[in-house]
């Protein structure tokens, strides 16, 4: 298990759960009276769903990273992280502020997610080819 990626996954999971809880409770109270409240809550829900899904993907990559030669696992983890920041982040800000223009940035985060999944696919071809790192079982 890659320790740094595990820390990253823990941080992403923690923030994903925190943001999801805020969306279910705090944001709902803030936007209740706004005409686009349903849109905003939907954006937040989508953002937190993808955030948590890809936090788990980073954790999975952390588990398998030591078994794959090359940088595919680390690239995948950082692509997922960039996707969370750009995709989920733009939706979080859009939901909080109502700035719909941020929706133009959101697909770039989706491309980061796709790049991460492709990296996992390429890395799977090398599964079991890594040599154990010193100090790791």
Residue 94 lies in a domain: yes
Q: What is the 3-state secondary structure (H, E, C) of the chain?
A: CCHHHHHHHHHHHHHHHHHHHHHHHHHHHHHCCCCCHHHHHHHHHHHHHHHHHHHHHHHHHHHHHHHECCCHHHHHHHHHHHHHHHHHHHHHHHHHHCCHHHHHCHHHHHHHHHHHHHHHHHHHCCECCCCCCCCCC
Query: pLDDT averaged over consecutive 10-residue blocks of the chain (137 residues)?
Result: 91 96 84 85 94 95 80 91 97 91 94 95 72 56
Name the residue range of residue 73's domain: 3-124
Residue 86 lies in a domain: yes
Residue 131 lies in a domain: no
Residue 129 lies in a domain: no
Task: Quote the pLDDT of residue 133.
Answer: 57
Total count of domains within the chain: 1
């Amino acid at each position: 298990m890659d320790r740094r990626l595990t820390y990253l996954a823990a941080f992403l999971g923690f923030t994903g759960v925190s943001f999801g809880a805020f969306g279910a409770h705090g944001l709902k109270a803030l936007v209740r009276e706004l005409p686009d409240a349903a849109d905003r809550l939907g954006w937040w829900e989508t953002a937190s769903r993808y955030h948590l899904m890809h936090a788990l993907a980073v954790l999975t990559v952390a588990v398998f990273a030591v078994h794959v030669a090359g940088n595919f696992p680390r690239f995948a983890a950082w692509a997922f992280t960039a996707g969370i920041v750009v995709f989920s982040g733009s939706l979080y800000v859009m939901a909080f502020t109502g700035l719909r223009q941020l929706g133009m940035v959101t697909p770039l985060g989706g491309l980061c997610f796709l790049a991460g999944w492709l990296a996992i696919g390429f890395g799977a071809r090398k599964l079991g080819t890594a040599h154990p790192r010193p100090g790791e079982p």
